[in-house]
Structure 1
């Protein structure tokens, strides 16, 4: 059978995976968004369902002041003795920590902090020991640091040691340790989470090494696949299926065009098969690369890959598909299956100091259509294609000093902000339907009043791409409300529909 990559589209970077019985569980980074660490499950590795998030309480996830390069980095999920563990780093709120649960669909514990330098932490369990590792450095330079810790407290039980220095590529990251057969395999990424990204590994006969690097490294990379949409493959994790086959999940991103080095949907989750040789070394993917369409005999032909394309208020949930910027002020939201009501505050989208009245869902494809009806009851409210607080395109309705309304199109690109009132709303109008349509190279804007659609132009997608913004996230399609005066009016959003257009085979 064949399946398509990414198996999870949209901004879901740094995947980590484990299996319990016949079910696979996967987590991803979430950076400045709340709740944190999206949680997915699957029975076949190609059809994934988001069940929620791991970090759902403010006490677990302080995000005040976090921006698109802050917050939660690179989680790892593991299962040991009936308990799930998720370890990660809050780079703007305390450092390394892990949480645990005995019920994957229930609440997770409060953070257990681990004091070690670096990012990208991982856990390994064996013979009653809990190993903690992360990237870091010593007097000789970059390396992976490891120690044993006490599960209940995170307290180190051994001295922290450098266990491997990688293969020489820049930005050594994403350590994961596995005991498979007679070897311990230490997998990593190098090259930076960009076009030179790559997966490398080494093996040894002890959790502390010494480790011998695979002669064929990198075991997976698309760095030489010029003119191919899928790029930046790295930050991987291994898992075996119930039949004993091994697989690799990894991040990658899709360019907006084969010959344009920009991407907007963020780093996404892809899947490739792993094959062990008789000598104990493994290979991955198709000749060491990840492809948009993968062929495999490991998944039965009866399994069909399905991808959801339509999203409404009625079939999505706040805190699952919908997330907030930083820790939200919950009193400013009234959210139901029929409408989202948002209370404007003086905090604009460009603020990094506090959470604006904003709620967003991931852009999962470069081609999509979004529409939502907005009441004329606040000072400013609308929709946004939001990459960062200084990189976003907005279509909104703003009240003038005389009490009339204009539909406004705004582009914020770094310190450059351009806005123009592109359409005056006739007096007596109660609501306007806003349209935001995506194509690979542009975002298109329109407003519908009394059944008449007014096209309001287009803006190029590359200017809010990751390459332009210099961030680690992807575009979020958001609803927002602002009240510069602080008067606190509410705006109702209704009839929300987001339809994604899947790529052709």
Structure 2
């Protein structure tokens, strides 16, 4: 069959996967967004459905002081003796921890902390023992992939943390994962930074603690030399074996906006590539060591059909699964109904590294039309509510219905670093306190409209590149958000529709 990458679109970076019976489970990073660490499941490796989050309570993760692209870094999911474990890092607080559950569809435990530094932690289970790995500096001052044995019930260290592999010399060694395959220990990692030089490398050993011999042809997977190819930034992978014995690697990557336009704003997404072990026990990955957008394979039955959702509405999305909020939201500011949303504004704006009244969907593809009806009736109050294309507090484009002392108006505002500019205002009649807002998204540009009857009135447009990671920095991607700003003032959103073209 033929499948297309990414298999999960939009800002879902750092995938980790495990298989239990006939089902695959995946987790991804969530950074400053809440709930934390989305969980997906699949029966066929290609079609994934979100089933929950690992971090759903404030007691599990501190996000109040987290800046953009801080907070919850790369998670790992593993299954042992009937129990699921997810280990991750609160990078802002420099804390590695794990949570567990016996019911993948239910709640997860309170965090269990491990006194080992670094990020991108991994758990490896063998013969009743548990080993914890991360990238960082060990107890003796040596950097690399650091390993210790822990007591799984408490997180207490049972051995010193020791560096067991320093990688192949690429910068930003990260994402360690350990596997035992055919009697050998394979240690896989990422190097080069989660940018255009990203790559996956690995080494193997006869011992869990090394020494590790690197694969002679590292990197085993990278798109760093595919100039002009849509898919870039390939790295940070996790291996899984399917029911037929085939091996696969799930990894992150990103799609740049044009062949020669090296900008990406949708975030790092989930990609899949085949892995093949040779007779010598070393493995290769992808197509000549690269991942392609379209892959032909006989490893997946022809009966498997890749499905893709093209339309997102209030009615066909789940508030608890598909939508995300910032840091620790004030629950009383949100009334989430089946066909509408009522948001209670505060004085916190989208420009603050704090907790505005905001709820958003990850943007999953370049070309889309987004529309929503927004209603205000604030009498003497001032403020605004509307749609935002949100990367972070310094990089977002807003299309809003605003109430001032002069009356109601629709505005287009661009926020690019230190430049914050209302590009156009359209005044509404004195009794008009509602508007239909429309955003048309393309690879290189967003365009902003006020719908009046059958006519869409253009307010302006802005380039997508200024919301890209190359401009904004950080590790997240664009969300399509609904927001409200204004003290004790509410806004109602109805008829939301996001349709990918």
**TM-superposition CA deviations, 1:465-504 (whole Å, max 9, x none):** 1110011000001000001xx2x11100000001112xxx
User: In the TM superposition, what whole-angstrom CA distance separates every residue of 1:439-468 from its partner, at most 9, and x where no partner exists?
Assistant: 000001001134542111210000111110
Do structure 1's residue 242 and structure 2's residue 243 form an aligned pair? yes
In the other structure, the counterpart of 1:108 is: 108
Aligned residues of 2:401 and 2:434 also touching (Cα < 8 A):
no
Matched with 1:381 is 385
What are the within-5 Å matches in structure 2 for residues 168-187 of structure 1? 168-187=169-188
**Structure 1 counterpart SS, 2:328:** coil
How far does the alpha carbon of each residue in 1:105-155 deviate from its partner, in whole angstroms, 9 at most, with x for none?
A: 000000001111100000000000000000012567530110010111100
State the TM-score, normalizing by the size of structure 2.
0.97
Match of 1:65 in 2: 65
Equivalent residue, structure 2, for 1:444: 447
1:25-70: CA deviation from partner (whole Å, max 9, x where unpaired): 0000000000000100000001000112111111112201212220
Cα contact 2:424–2:459 (8 A) shared by 1: no
- 366 and 149 in structure 1: CA distance in 2 versus 1, 3 angstrom threshold: same
Q: How many residues align?
A: 496
Partners of 1:264 and 1:366 within 8 A in 2: no
Could you tell me which residue of structure 1 aligns to residue 395 of structure 2?
Answer: 391
Tell me what 2:77 maps to: 77
Deviation larger for 249-258 or 428-437: 428-437
Matched, 1:55 2:58: no
Cα deviations by residue, 1:306-331 (Å, 9 ceiling, x for unpaired): 11111111111222110101000001
Deviations 1:53-93 (A, max 9, x none): 11111111220121222010000000000000000001124
Listed as ranges, the matches of 1:79-478 within 5 Å are: 79-93=79-93, 95-138=95-138, 142-352=143-353, 354-378=354-378, 379-402=383-406, 404-478=407-481
Mapped to 1, the partners of 2:388 and 2:276 lie a distance apart of: 44
Report the RMSD for the aligned CA atoms in angstroms. Answer: 1.1
Alignment of 1:13-24 (within 5 A): 13-24=13-24
Q: CA deviation at 1:421?
A: 3.9
| 8 Å CA contact 2:9, 2:269 repeated in 1 | yes
Is 2:18–2:79's contact at 8 Å kept on the other side of the alignment?
Answer: yes
Give the match's secondary structure for 2:60. coil
Deviations 1:338-364 (A, max 9, x none): 100001100000111x30000010000
Secondary structure of the 2:217 match is coil
Q: Could you tell me how far 1:427 is from its partner in structure 2?
A: 2.4
Name the SS of the counterpart of 1:121 in structure 2: strand
Task: Please state if 1:481 is matched with 2:484.
Answer: yes
* Deviant stretches of 4+, over 6 Å: none
Aligned equivalents of 1:145, 1:260: Cα separation in 2: 38
Q: For 1:164 and 1:461, how far apart are their aligned partners in 2? A: 40
Q: Aligned partners of 1:60 and 1:364: how far apart in 2?
A: 28
Three-state SS of the structure 2 residue aligned to 1:349 is coil
Q: Is the 8 A contact 2:367 2:443 kept in 1?
A: yes
Cα pair 1:376 1:429 within 8 Å, conserved: no
Whole-Å separation in 2 of the counterparts to 1:67 and 1:301: 45
